[in-house]
Amino acid sequence: MGRFSRACLIMIVLLLTIIALHPILIPHTASAAGRYKYAVVPSSDAIDRMQADLDKRAADGWELVTPLVSERFLAFIFRKEQ
Q: Give the per-residue pLDDT at 1.
A: 77
Domain boundaries, the chain: 36-81
What's the pLDDT tens digit per position in 7-51?
999 999 999 999 998 888 887 766 666 788 888 888 766 777 778
Q: Give the per-residue pLDDT at 31.
A: 65
What's the pLDDT tens digit per position in 49-65?
778 878 888 888 888 88
Q: Give the per-residue pLDDT at 34.
A: 73
Selection from 75, 82, 44, 40 nearest residue 61 by Cα: 82
CB 67 within 8 A of CB 54: no
